[in-house]
Structure 1
Amino acid sequence: MAQNEVSTLKKGLLVLDLVKQRKGITLKEVMHEINLSKSTAFRILSTLEEMEYVYKLQTQYFIHHKMFCESFEKRSEMDWASFNSIYQVAKNLKMSTYVGKMDGSDLVMTQAIHAPYQHSADDEIGNRSKLHQSAIGKVILAHLKEDSLVSLLSKPSLEPATHSTFQDPHLFRYHLKAIRDEGYAFDDEERIPGIRCVAVPIFRNQKVIAALAVAAPVDQISCSNIKHIAKKLHVGSKAITKEFETLVNI
């Protein structure tokens, strides 16, 4: 192998290792970190992207997990920590960010990220609560088919988590309709006193598979900024769906 080929291979491996270490990295950052020219960095990243070792979301490159895990599609359904776009939501909004999915009448937390928004809060993943008790659960319920919703809401009562939790099934149904119409859910200390939460659905093939949310003390989420937060969450939700489809090559 010629010396220039060895040098190029070494640079490519350094770039690949750098992308693998970071939760999103730009072309400019690669140039700076490894001291490469723009043309060299671009050529290496383009080659890695073409070979599906990395993928690009907007201006950032991420490691392509399916190249390093034969069962990525199965793993991705349970390991939301591998979705880089969730970290981007947390960094953009600078709030604790969560993903949860439905399991029966329960909400199961599948991802939790706190400042400085670089790692999962593993001790919170797997935590359970009732779907009706939080924005993240309510937005999932609001997007269920009618027969599934009727079955879930036919239970004897809606168990409260705080004094603010919905307990009237009839009023709750109207609340879910409003959530579906507005496209996001909000809870005002309904699960944890002093904490407010905003959530939007995550779709795959037009079916809700989970929900994305941010939570913060009441003074950080107010009536004046709820819609702004929801708008950013919707952008994040679409990015998660796109990333999922990119990674499993649908």
Structure 2
Amino acid sequence: MRVLFLVGREIQYARNQVLLDAMRHFAHVDVVARDSRPASLLANSAAIAARGASMLARRRYDLVFVGFYGHLIVRTLAPMIRSPLLFDAFLSTYDTLCFDRQLYAPDSRMGRMAFQLDRSTGARADHVLLDTRRHVEYFVDTFGLPPAKFSVIPVGCSDAIYTPQPYVPASSGPLRVLSYSSYLPLHGIDTILRTAAALRARDDVPDLRFRLIGDGALLPAMRALAAELALDNVEFL
């Protein structure tokens, strides 16, 4: 089996790398992707789509896979793809821009374009992957796409880096909770901080220490919230 694997973000992006590793277990995979994060998703998607079109013209593939961020690639390449097209949408552009990050109003020009991008790419792909069952429900309800078109593959991690280990309770000291993120609204760091504040005041829970690793747009606001809540059980790294 031969697969053409195209992604708009860098191939090392965890979602892309995990799915690529999985496909290499059962297929020969030709990869079209960058090694580093692109400065412009629009320009990079156009470049990836052009390279993909060239490869499709030269060789027949049993499957074309478009991974994250692939909406613009699907929009460009779908008319010339004759093989089954599997699209890892992963998230909704419309929801991300209009509701999560609130960059555009839903009824603005950009909001309407994002809506059409999600709906059209979902319709053009033969099958679509998302990360949660709730996300599938959102695509079905919002964009009018059939439930049978979707499958759920949860967010994973590379087993070359992380391997399951047996849980060994600490003999003493606090229970440590680790979270890492890029401080986007959907990562819910504010919920973690408010939970830390609520649990701190309870006598029926163990001593908890929260360690938050990462950087991003909401980090200053989350530091301010932690100070407002007077959290001495939270550490930012």
What TM-score range do you get, normalising by the shorter chain?
under 0.3
TM-score (norm 2): 0.26
